[in-house]
Amino acid sequence: MKVAIFASGNGTNYEVLAEHFQKGDLPGELALLFCDHPDAPVIKRAEKFQTPVVTFTVKSCGGKQKYEEKILQVLKDYQIDFIALAGYMRVIGPTILNEYEGRIVNLHPAYLPAYPGLHSIERAFADHPNETGVTVHYIDSGLDSGPAIAQKHVPIYDDDTVESLEARIHECEHHLYPEALKKALLKFEEENN
């Protein structure tokens, strides 16, 4: 079972997952990192783990349709079975979704259905409820609306800043994502053996 991670930025969640794959805590093989920003820090992290990297932008492909078709070809070339999104800041369109339905999971920095989409941490902080959270879920055609695999609450304290809240959310992500991904991968493996 070959797994691809999609990321757009810094790559801390990529690194946590890569460590778990390296230790054998996650089933399958981390076979690819796809990044839509050729200069993103996650690429350096991938080099450290010797994960093959493919990177190109929507603009370089001449639009979203061609971009997704090119990604799909890369996924076929690498014989990818399963995709884990780790800070991938683009919506997955039907070209990829139709081929990989039920085989794409996402990490979202909120307790869905609250705060779907971008800037979830900032929006939760501005509203100042008692808590927000982290969700790992399957991708569907909606925005952060696929079935949840795992969720965990993260408290919001009176003296929090956006940065302190973000740090606690990232810490929660780094524990929750490997557990939830393992559950999803084992389920996929079981259904396809």
Proportion of the chain above pLDDT 90, given as a percent: 99
Say if residue 12 carries a ligand binding annotation: yes
pLDDT tens-place string over residues 147-181: 999 999 999 999 999 999 999 999 999 999 999 99
Q: Please state the rounded mean pLDDT for residues 118-142.
A: 96
Say if residue 106 carries a ligand binding annotation: yes
Structural domain boundaries in the chain: 2-191
pLDDT tens-place string over residues 25-60: 999 999 999 999 999 999 999 999 999 999 999 999
Whether pLDDT at 1 is above 90: yes
Whether pLDDT at 16 is above 90: yes
Whether pLDDT at 187 is above 90: yes
What CA–CA distance (Å, rounded) separates 75 from 77? 5
What CA–CA distance (Å, rounded) separates 93 from 97? 6
pLDDT for 193 equals 82
Select which of 20, 37, 108, 119 is catalytic: 108
Conformation bin of residue 44: beta by default, left when phi > 0, alpha when psi is -120 to 50: alpha
Count H helices and E strands in the chain, helices first. Answer: 7, 7
Say if residue 64 carries a ligand binding annotation: yes
3-class SS of residue 191: helix
Quick check: is 108 catalytic? yes
Whether pLDDT at 184 is above 90: yes
Whether pLDDT at 117 is above 90: yes
Fold held by 2-191: Rossmann fold (3.40.50)
- Comparing CA positions, the residue from 144, 140, 112, 114 lying closest to residue 126 is 114
pLDDT tier at 119, thresholds 50, 70, 90: very high
Say if residue 11 carries a ligand binding annotation: yes
3-class SS of residue 10: coil
Q: Please state the rounded mean pLDDT for residues 129-153.
A: 96
- Comparing CA positions, the residue from 43, 57, 56, 50 lying closest to residue 11 is 43
3-class SS of residue 107: strand
Scanning the structure block, which residue is given the tokens 């965990």? 152
Proportion of the chain above pLDDT 70, given as a percent: 100
